[in-house]
Every structure is written in structure tokens, then in C-alpha cells.
Structure 1
Amino acid sequence: MVKSIHVIHSSPGRTRLRLPWLRHAGKVAASLADDLLLVEGISEVEVRPFTGSVLCRHDPEEVDVERLLEEVRRITGADTVARPGEELPDGEPLLRSLEQGSGLARAATSFIKELNADLLRATEGHVDLGSLTALGFATAGVMNVAIKGKIESPPWFSLGWWAFRTFATMEELAIRNTPTQVRHDNGDAHPPGTSPPSAAH
């Protein structure tokens, strides 16, 4: 198995790496944070074994990205380093989608952000898409009440949607920290932080 390190994001003092194979290496995952914290200049390490995500906060004057990668390779015995923009190996798109969102969601987000930027540009920064949409729905609701002379009960699917939206908004922290189960090639599901059981020989 190739042990690769992927540099996902790096800014002065904050670096996120992904070690795709880490979810199958429980012992390494368990000790990686402690071993990295022994390096002077590294102040905080967060390891998520199931996704292979390793987030490090470090003093950029003492530990730059290259030094951090050197230490991770020394501790883990990793073989290669993949820089931002390089292709992830086969099997990683799922884990990337779990962390970054699906391709469709990213494409839709990009389109909406561009639309919002165009609207802000056209209104010289006075109106954004979120405010315009909220105002449009509010106006439509007021007009509906004015025309019909009464407030009607919303249809069930609207209630369902708002129930879901309220939950997603109020419980964002719980949702973000609840592990997602992913099925491995053998069809078994394993929660984050665990490795699939070894096949019997």
C-alpha cells in the first residue's frame, strides 16, 4: 500500500493534510498527534483517522510546511507527498466529497456565488442574493394574504422543508461533528476512527 500525504490547504501557521491510508492504520493514527506535538513549534494537532485528515497549527517561523511534511513522513513512514492540485488516488473522491461536498453541490455553489457577485456589482454592494430572495418571499407572502384576505396553512412539504432547515441551522455543530459511515470494498460500514476487521485467512 502506497502511503501518501496530500497537502490540502496551507497558510502561515495552519496546515491541513490528508493521509488516505490512515483509516487502515489505527496505531499510527492514535499516536500521530502526540508524536507531532513533541516537535517544537507545533502547538495543536487534530487527527481524524476515518477521513485521514490531519490539521496542524504551528509557529510558521519555527515549523514551515516543508518541515511539517518532513516530520509527518518521519513519524508515519509515508512514501510520497502530493501537492495541491495533484490528482487524488482512486477511491478518494468519496472521502473528498464527504469533506468538501459533492461535485454537483460545488458546481451549484460556484454558480450561485458568481450570480451573487454580479448582483452586488450591479447594485454597487447594496443588495445581495440572500437579502433579495428573502425580501421576494416576504413580499409574495404579504401579497398572497392581501389578495385572499386570510393566512392559509402552508402545504406539508413546506412544513417539512422548514423543519429540516431549522434543524440544520440550529444543530449545525452536531451535524458537523457526527461521523458519516462509509462502506468499504468488503461492503461493511465502519464509523470514523475505526478500521475494518481483518479478513480471516
Structure 2
Amino acid sequence: MRLDPDSGTIEGQWLLLVHHSPGRLRVRADCFRDASELADRVRGELGETQGVFSTTHAPLTGSLLIEYSPDAADVESLLAAIVDSAGLDGIVDAKALSHSRKAPAEHIVDGVRRLNGLARELTGAGLYELIPAVLTVTGIYSLVANPSQKGLLPRWDNALYWAYSVFRDGVREEEREEDVARVSGAVAFRPRPHV
């Protein structure tokens, strides 16, 4: 049984804490989906708990809505009762899980970095060198083979501009990485002389 919040994957049977405000608790679990006997058993046990007014089961989402008196019952004991009676592995907070997942842009950046490493391993040059080379060849070919600049090929001047732009940005990025590696987290401190 494994919980990996960084990737957003949950292996095993976990109780997901969807929402809590004093008097209302919403939880979800895959084992509560459809017409679940397990959800009915949990509802029955919670119905006998002091301070619980009602328990509503939503079979489509697999969620339980528990309405209770905050003075008579505490949320920790309710969650523990649900986990114990359903035989689940533990509790996961939905808000913490959603905040810990990587943004889609981070996945794209990681993929491009892996692709850059693969290109460097195969050709000895990274994407910052290969893409400008391809764009330069495309621009020259477009100038020679398509002087009217009509058709599917990009205009030669656009291709050369983007070749320069990608190469320039790549050089800047590599210089930034070299600076970070050189400093490696340590900043030299020079005290100012007292006058």
C-alpha cells in the first residue's frame, strides 16, 4: 500500500477527506461506489454514534456526507470509525493531495529536459543547438527552393530569426546554469570597512 502525493497516485484503499466544517464532514472512497454494502455498514455504525444526525451516501461518487454535532462528536473519532469499519488503509486530505501534485507545465518542462538529455546523449548536442541548426537549414532551403515564399515552408527570414532567438536563449540559459554551478549556493560575504 503506497501513497505518493507528488504524482497524485494512491495505491490501496484510502479514505479521502473531501471537506470538513464543524457539523459537516464529506469523505470519499472507491469502495463506497455504486450500491455498496460496505457503505451501508459504515452508515449503520455511524448512525449509532452519539452526536451523528445523518449519514448520506452518494453511490455515483462514492462519498459519504456525515452531519453531526461538534459538541457531541469530534471529527477525528468519526474518521477513525469510518476507516476501521471499512477496513481502509488510512486517511488522505484532498486539499493537501491536490496542492502537492505537479502542475501540467512542470510535467512539460520535465519532458523537454529528458528529451534534451536524450538528444545530448545521442548527438552530443542539446536541443538549444539542434533546433537552431534545423531552423537555419529550413530558412536557407526556403530561400533557395521557394523564392515566392508561398506554400507550406516558413518564410526564410522567420526561420532564421527563430533560429537566432532559440540559440540566444539557449546560450543565456546555459550561462545561468554555469553561474549557479559556480556559486553552488555559497555567496561570498565581504564586510564593509568601518569608517
Which TM-score band (shorter chain)? 0.3 to 0.5
Larger radius of gyration: 2
TM-score by length of 1: 0.40
TM-score by length of 2: 0.41
